[in-house]
Amino acid sequence: MKKKVLVIGGGAAGLMAAASAAEHGAAITLLEKMPAVGRKILITGKGRCNVTNIADIKTIIENMPGNGPFLYSALAAFSNSDLMAWLEKRGVPLKTERGGRVFPVSDRAGDIVAAFSRALDDLGVSVVTGQAVREIRVSAGHACGAVTADGREWPAEAVVLATGGASYPGTGSSGDGYRIAAALGHEIAPLRPSLVPLEVAEDWVADLQGLALRNVTVTASVGGRNLAAEFGELLFTHFGLSGPVILSLSNPVAAAIRAGTGGGEVLIAIDLKPALSVETLDKRLQRDFTKFARKQFKNSLGDLLPARLTDVIVDLSHIDPDKPVHQITKEERGRLVTLLKQLTFAITGTRPLAEAIVTAGGIRTKEINPSTMESRLVAGLYFAGEVIDIDGYTGGFNLQAAFSTGYVAGRSAGADNVENNNR
């Protein structure tokens, strides 16, 4: 008789947990409250799905500021190489891009979801959508099933809770798992947004809404002390800043904001021309000004900047926009160079948790056995993915954590000889 395992949640961690448990011989039912599984996977990486990163385990841990060391056992059991082999075996060829980021060759996140759907079908997993879990049943200290919102009982010999975080609630990850786990006695670390856009004080940023800048260097600082710097793509929004570099910097920025403003104002500075030194950029401006000597200043930066950004830079330079280029002074040109190398914004906060890519906080790792993902409080209850208090930077690290913890949780839940020691 196969062991009956219930997996709650059809995101990355839940899909992998269901597949892993089935591969280890269990009979699996996966409950997903949305009409279809994998909704959040479909929007990751701008719909391309950055499934993992080719970095070694040590580097992956370093890119998980939220309790990274907890993942050593899970990554050893199911590494990025294991994940890539698993996907390619199931018909998803992969490619590696800048920073070691791994994507489907097709650039379609739907191919990842389709691969899991095929795998679960082949493994005989029963996927039931439109079923929101209300509570997990426990008998004599052992998880024995769940109850859905409609009052239906779902008996099981082991349960995997993989409901995701509290970001992008429209995909189904609305924080249900935290409430369910807390009801069983688990402590929930305070939830906060991770990998989240930033709001700025400067109202003129709205004029740049939708403008993307590539190959810029962005530095976060507080009280004159640099927190971190990133090189890559930035996106202006109506409220402030977004894009890959901003999401990566949002962790240290948010931490500085939470620490209070006693240390000084939190700033973001954009180097619009990081490949050019101050001296080289000044010479470049002199050449452009010579080329456009007969034009007004407001019409002289077209070779250097996008048109929409030009208008803003002209305004911020405090140089008369109608001034003939040949009349611009050395002091004014120096001021312009500084502006181009340090376009600075005062950060007033992060966007809400619902708009974050990842939720920081969650079920305390001290209450979970890292080798099995089993609860130390309730036997037969396992956790996987974002519901756990783990989070990482952009680059495929969060999805790898979800897949690795999902694999271990499923393997442990599906095995007949689950080790319950050291809970």
For position 176, which CATH number holds? 3.50.50.60
User: Following DSSP, what letter does each residue of 212-237 receive, concatenated?
Assistant: EEEEEEEEEEETTEEEEEEEEEEEE-
9 and 147 share a domain? yes
- Mean local confidence (pLDDT), 327-341: 96
- Mean local confidence (pLDDT), 146-162: 98
In a domain, 90, yes or no: yes
In a domain, 420, yes or no: no
**Nearest-angstrom CA–CA distance, 151 and 112:** 33
Q: How confident is the model at residue 210 (pLDDT cuts 50, 70, 90)?
A: very high
Domain boundary among 300, 321, 350: 350
**Nearest-angstrom CA–CA distance, 42 and 175:** 19
* pLDDT computed for residue 223 by the predictor: 87
State the Cα angle at 368 between 367 and 373, rounded to 5°: 165
190 and 288 share a domain? no
pTM of structure: 0.89
The more confident residue out of 79 and 418 is 79
Give the HSE-up count for residue 29: Cα atoms under 13 Å, Cβ half-sphere: 17
* Mean model confidence pLDDT for the chain: 94
Question: How many folded domains does the chain comprise?
Answer: 2
What proportion of the chain, given as a percentage, has pLDDT over 90?
Answer: 87
State the Cα angle at 322 between 316 and 323, rounded to 5°: 90
145 and 12 share a domain? yes
- Mean local confidence (pLDDT), 250-265: 81
**pLDDT score of 419 more than 50:** no
- Mean local confidence (pLDDT), 331-345: 97
State the Cα angle at 47 between 43 and 51, rounded to 5°: 85
- Mean local confidence (pLDDT), 254-266: 79
**294: which DSSP letter?**
T
* pLDDT computed for residue 420 by the predictor: 40
Q: How confident is the model at residue 18 (pLDDT cuts 50, 70, 90)?
A: very high
* pLDDT computed for residue 173 by the predictor: 77
| Of 382, 399, 384, residue with least CA distance to 184 | 382
Instruction: Phi first, then psi: give them for residue 324, nearest 5 degrees.
Output: -60, 140
Q: How confident is the model at residue 421 (pLDDT cuts 50, 70, 90)?
A: very low
**pLDDT score of 291 more than 80:** yes
335 and 399 share a domain? no
* pLDDT computed for residue 418 by the predictor: 42
Domain boundary among 306, 322, 350: 350
In a domain, 423, yes or no: no
184 and 257 share a domain? no
In a domain, 421, yes or no: no
The more confident residue out of 146 and 65 is 146
- Mean local confidence (pLDDT), 29-34: 97
What proportion of the chain, given as a percentage, has pLDDT over 70?
Answer: 97
Q: Give the H or E element holding residue 5.
A: strand 4-8
**pLDDT score of 31 more than 50:** yes
* pLDDT computed for residue 135 by the predictor: 98
241 and 127 share a domain? no
Domain boundary among 350, 375, 391: 350
In a domain, 143, yes or no: yes
**Nearest-angstrom CA–CA distance, 211 and 260:** 31
The more confident residue out of 420 and 45 is 45
* pLDDT computed for residue 423 by the predictor: 41
* pLDDT computed for residue 262 by the predictor: 56
Residues 6+ apart with CB under 8 A from 138: 144, 184, 378, 381
Q: How confident is the model at residue 127 (pLDDT cuts 50, 70, 90)?
A: very high
User: Following DSSP, what letter does each residue of 34-63 receive, concatenated?
Assistant: SSSS-HHHHHGGGGT---EE---HHHHHHT
Ranking 203-217, 257-271, 390-404 by mean pLDDT, the lowest is: 257-271
188 and 203 share a domain? no
Strand blocks (E) in 133-291: 133-139, 142-148, 153-155, 158-161, 188-194, 198-200, 212-222, 225-236, 240-242, 266-271
303 and 258 share a domain? yes
* pLDDT computed for residue 309 by the predictor: 96
**pLDDT score of 261 more than 70:** no
What SS3 state is found at 142? strand
Q: How confident is the model at residue 1 (pLDDT cuts 50, 70, 90)?
A: confident
In a domain, 76, yes or no: yes
* pLDDT computed for residue 167 by the predictor: 85
* pLDDT computed for residue 169 by the predictor: 80
* pLDDT computed for residue 263 by the predictor: 62
241 and 219 share a domain? yes
Ranking 248-257, 266-275, 397-406 by mean pLDDT, the lowest is: 248-257
Q: How confident is the model at residue 422 (pLDDT cuts 50, 70, 90)?
A: very low
227 and 366 share a domain? no
344 and 218 share a domain? yes
129 and 174 share a domain? yes
Give the HSE-up count for residue 79: Cα atoms under 13 Å, Cβ half-sphere: 9
Relative orientation angle of helices 278-291 and 330-341, to the nearest 10 degrees:
120
In a domain, 419, yes or no: no
In a domain, 212, yes or no: yes
Q: Give residue 306's domain range.
A: 197-350
- Mean local confidence (pLDDT), 71-88: 98
* pLDDT computed for residue 3 by the predictor: 96
**pLDDT score of 73 more than 80:** yes
